[in-house]
Amino acid sequence: MKNKNFETQAIRTQIERSQFLEHSSPLYLSSSFVFEDSEDMRASFAEEKEKNIYSRFSNPNTSEFVEKICQMEGAESGYAFATGMAAIYSTFAALLNSGDHIVSCRSVFGSTHTLLTKYFPKWDIQHSYFDVNDIDKVESLIKENTKILYAESPTNPAVDILDLEKLGQIAKKHNLILIIDNCFATPYLQNPIDFGADIVIHSATKLIDGQGRVLGGVAVGRADLIEEIYLFSRNTGPSLSPFNAWVLSKSLETLPVRLDRHCENALKVAEFLEAHEQVNWVKYPFLKSHPQYDVAKKQMKQGGNIVAFEVKGGIEAGRKFIDAIKLCSLSANLGDTRSIITHPASTTHSKLSESDRLQASITDGLVRVSVGLEHIDDVIADLEQALGS
Ligand SMILES: *Cc1c(COP(=O)(O)O)cnc(C)c1O
């Protein structure tokens, strides 16, 4: 039975119980599975039956995790990866041939940018970038050999919003595969498939784990495309470990309640920063001042947990602010219970040239706050004392 409500899906989608009738899903730390006899073995390898053979192909724990994400995203099928980047790389590699072309938003995760600019050209896979505010230009970038349209929304780290419905219409009209990195929204806040995405990718390392423990990734979507991604991955080995899948499946049970609080806290931080005289600007999808506020409201349930802002006084003032932080962590991760402050220009996006960074709206003074689950008064007090010093 397919569970209808998100919270119930998150909690009640489970692998079959073993003979021990455990309540919580057990952990299947087994690299391989046995066959009844030679016929069972032959039929399993011939894929005449759905059966676990080897944990690089599938495992009960990874299957449970994938099934949950598929239900939450409204996807036909999926495959789980060791990291978000393994999911992104494998999806591109499985679906593209040399000579193919990608149209992508310029504001993508730093390592995705490195894949597009440094590695794919080695196999003659080229790309064209469009800016977040230039969706109308997308069609002019499409060439005869364009196969994939790629974007994140909200973007990392500037939390810009792309109109998923528009991207879906363009992809459909030009017969492109639309791939959306839905990491910042999670399946709870936004379902890109509803707007025409063919594949949705998550770094499960972030809000899906939500507690800063394990790495993971997942790609879900159209069954015919996922079959290609599955076959590529089962042969190349970027698969998620059963242990991490077990952790992530459990994490999904609390995703809705965690996200409700993350979003409530983030909105309070955004409102506090917007009113502060030492702050140049603040961007948060559910602040009325956000340039794409209407689009965010249309496609997201809440604004997420990331707030981007700039301290007055340029890079020096930004550094001073970060050095004065006491409670929040200085770390490159995001989506943790612990609030985290990052300076993207010197860390996650330092491999981009300054002009590439500016075109992706990452100014030198931009600070990214991943708002956690501490008492919000304590987080705001920390930001306040750091801004005042
Ligand atoms: C972190 C992140 C990734 C990469 O995920 P990993 O699990 O670290 O490999 C991809 N996209 C976005 C938007 C991210 O924030």
Q: What is the pLDDT of residues 28-66, one digit of tens each?
A: 999 999 999 999 999 988 888 889 999 999 999 999 999
Going by CA atoms, what residue is nearest to atom 7 of ligand 1? 84
CA 84 to centroid of ligand 1, rounded, Å: 5
Domain ranges of the chain: 6-252, 255-387
Does ligand 1 have an atom closer than 6 angstroms to the CB of 155?
A: no
User: Which of 87, 84, 107 has the alpha carbon at shortest distance from 308?
Assistant: 107
261 CA to centre of own chain: 19
Does ligand 1 have an atom closer than 6 angstroms to the CB of 343?
A: no
- Category of 335 on φ-ψ map: left (φ > 0), alpha (ψ -120 to 50) or beta: left
Condensed to tens digits (0 to 9), the pLDDT of residues 144-196 reads 999 999 999 999 989 999 999 999 999 999 999 999 999 999 999 999 999 99
Helices (H) and strands (E) in the chain, counts: 15, 12
Q: Which residues pair with 256 in a beta bridge?
A: none
Arithmetic mean of pLDDT, 306-329: 92
Q: With 80 as the cut, is the pLDDT of residue 360 above it?
A: no
Class of domain 6-252: alpha beta
Q: With 60 as the cut, is the pLDDT of residue 2 above it?
A: no
Q: With 70 as the cut, is the pLDDT of residue 1 above it?
A: no
Q: Name the 3-class secondary structure at 367.
A: strand
Arithmetic mean of pLDDT, 207-215: 98
Report the share of the chain in percent with pLDDT over 70. 99
Q: Which residues of 138-150 are buried (b: 16+ CB within 10 A; e: fewer)?
A: beebbeeebbbbb
pLDDT reported for residue 317? 85
CA 109 to centroid of ligand 1, rounded, Å: 7
Condensed to tens digits (0 to 9), the pLDDT of residues 79-136 reads 999 999 999 999 999 999 999 999 999 999 999 999 999 999 999 999 999 999 999 9
User: What is the enclosing helix (H) or strand (E) of 201?
Assistant: strand 199-203
Q: With 90 as the cut, is the pLDDT of residue 227 above it?
A: yes
Report the share of the chain in percent with pLDDT over 90. 85
Q: State pTM to two decimals.
A: 0.96
CA 256 to centroid of ligand 1, rounded, Å: 20
pLDDT reported for residue 315? 79
- Asked if residue 214 lies in contact with residue 247, where contact means CB atoms within 8 angstroms, the answer is yes
Q: With 60 as the cut, is the pLDDT of residue 389 above it?
A: no
What average pLDDT does the chain have?
95
- Burial tier of 23 (Cβ tally within 10 Å: 0-12, 13-18, 19+): exposed
Does ligand 1 have an atom closer than 6 angstroms to the CB of 160?
A: no
User: Which of 386, 53, 365, 80 has the alpha carbon at shortest distance from 244?
Assistant: 80
Class of domain 255-387: alpha beta
> Which DSSP state fits 135?
G
In testing the pocket of ligand 1, which one of 81, 105, 132, 183 has its CB within 8 Å of the most ligand atoms?
A: 183
pLDDT reported for residue 345? 81
Going by CA atoms, what residue is nearest to atom 5 of ligand 1? 84
